[in-house]
Structure 1
């Protein structure tokens, strides 16, 4: 069965966090030796902030209660960085946790920015801090917190590139939490942006985003009640059929 495994072909078009569920699946099916799967997990984790999880995997892999000193130091760095980002984003987080204050927000983002600055002394630095805090939460494996903060960030963000990045992050978080209905909504929102040529500097980067979108969508379509129909609809659209053909050639 391992000869039919497409993980190595699919993984380059996924966020590394999305590879973990695939490795879990392979481990459950015992398609590869446990040691090989655990080493793959460690390799992935080394490029995230999920240090505690990496420590647990290390202990399982090497049958020890000890962990390398660099892991200990890395954990201390992650905790310190998380605290710093939390403090930087605190004014905006406090505002967003106040229902009466949030009611002051309007669909007009420029109004929101002016209002936040004048009434709450919250400016672009705090909004950027919220994005960085959300991104760091995601890298730590706190997908719920990341999803909430990215959703709130999108309501204030005026930078199209940052907004697109937040869309990808929110989609990944919802997939990892297996919130398939919400994930489908995020997928559709992201598709609108991906299909808008104004969001990209070149046709090549737009095509690459379509290829990523197709790969990420598999998690949703294979788990959503109406997924089988929707995957056919998406993959048969001319733009996506072309992307799929280019992917096969690659």
Structure 2
């Protein structure tokens, strides 16, 4: 079995925690396709092919549909409706290409571009008066963009929808065009442009007044799911994901409509922990993460969220280590997390070691290494590097085979005792004040 393959037991675990059915409810079918193809780790080839065929057979991706049909039903003739759809798409391409050619040629002229302003009403009047571009012609750009997207020409779709958006004053269609352009840039792997579109979309949704708050909640839920694509593919993307998901508006959206997104919030916080472990911002994020994971444990649990609970709520190191074994399997099978499996596991060891050190002054090196799923030699080397890199006040005693922590005099336990005494003193003060008030 290769390193990327899973055992039968691991496949069963991966299927149990597969989020694909939940994610697909908030994704466009073109964005769902790569998630379906990533299921080849836990499902057989024929099942994945069937799923992908069923997913896109209602689009205009005729060549794709023909290819998948031939794989599923070798030697069988293409269905009549498929051939009719192919003919229809070709006719629509010719029709809309002819209808939009003049408009696109006008917009491409340098003199016209120099004349356009931020004021869309001005642009519309100028283009209609000087070049005959009516509202109907602007809508044809949107229609053509939809067609190109639906047939899988994402670059052309993005350009058409952008041109439409420059001229359109229809707020509903502008939001729709922005969703379409964001999807096109994601599928084309143009992450910088995708992030720009994501920002525009958030601004449109957050600034617009919705008659029904549930509609706005629904839009934000879609934003959360679509944002996973760029955030897991750009430098510092996990920090940007944390910024968005921990904002009050989006955190409440996650808790209300998609608690499974906590998996990705855990992954983002844990994976960035070595870089920012001692920073105030990271500690705040970690506290917020522990709180929300605890609050939502009855709504959603998986090995990643359970790892956080075991380590920071129950302080159960054995359970945390056991969860890491499950986490590794879940991450391998997760479309968004699979590329960062090594980073997550390494960062998780940092967190385990950090918590372990806070509650122990002297630790057996061999036992500690085993708890980190490392041999004694690997563990000693890993811990030595960590102490050096983080400038931790600790040392390894090789003769005794121990790690010794130089805790400050005011230990964790002493801090708890001190705070308890303080609370007791304040309680007595409040009680005395109440008694005096009653006697008077």
Separation in structure 1 between the aligned mates of residue 66 and residue 80 of structure 2, nearest angstrom: 11
Alignment match of 2:103 (pick from 92, 97, 104) = 92
Aligned residues: 247
Q: Which runs of 5+ in 2 are unaligned?
A: 1-13, 260-298, 301-440
In the other structure, the counterpart of 2:214 is 204
In the other structure, the counterpart of 1:167 is 178
- Kept in 1, the 8 Å contact 2:37–2:52? The answer is no
Q: Which has the higher contact order (CA 8 A, sep 6+)?
A: 1
| Cα displacement (A) at 1:99 | 2.8
Separation in structure 1 between the aligned mates of residue 75 and residue 220 of structure 2, nearest angstrom: 44
| Cα displacement (A) at 1:60 | 1.4
Normalising to structure 2: TM-score of the pair?
Answer: 0.54
Secondary structure (helix, strand or coil) at the match of 2:25 reads helix
Moved over 6 A (4+): none
In the other structure, the counterpart of 1:3 is 16
- Kept in 1, the 8 Å contact 2:161–2:181? The answer is yes
Normalising to structure 1: TM-score of the pair?
Answer: 0.94
Which deviates more from structure 2 when the two are superposed, residues 99-108 or residues 115-124?
Answer: 99-108
Alignment match of 2:253 (pick from 238, 243, 246) = 243
Separation in structure 2 between the aligned mates of residue 226 and residue 96 of structure 1, nearest angstrom: 36
Alignment match of 1:193 (pick from 182, 190, 204) = 204
- Kept in 2, the 8 Å contact 1:20–1:41? The answer is yes
In the other structure, the counterpart of 1:147 is 158
Secondary structure (helix, strand or coil) at the match of 1:155 reads helix
Separation in structure 1 between the aligned mates of residue 114 and residue 76 of structure 2, nearest angstrom: 50
Provide the alpha-carbon RMSD of the alignment: 1.5
Secondary structure (helix, strand or coil) at the match of 1:153 reads helix
Q: Which runs of 5+ in 1 are unaligned?
A: none
Which deviates more from structure 2 when the two are superposed, residues 158-167 or residues 81-90?
Answer: 81-90
1:45-101 deviation digits (Å, cap 9, x = unpaired): 122111111001111122237422221111101111222222222221121232333
| Cα displacement (A) at 1:202 | 1.3
- 1:237 to 1:86, Cα distance in 2 relative to 1, 3 A: same
Q: Which has the larger radius of gyration?
A: 2
1:161-185 deviation digits (Å, cap 9, x = unpaired): 1111111111111100111111111
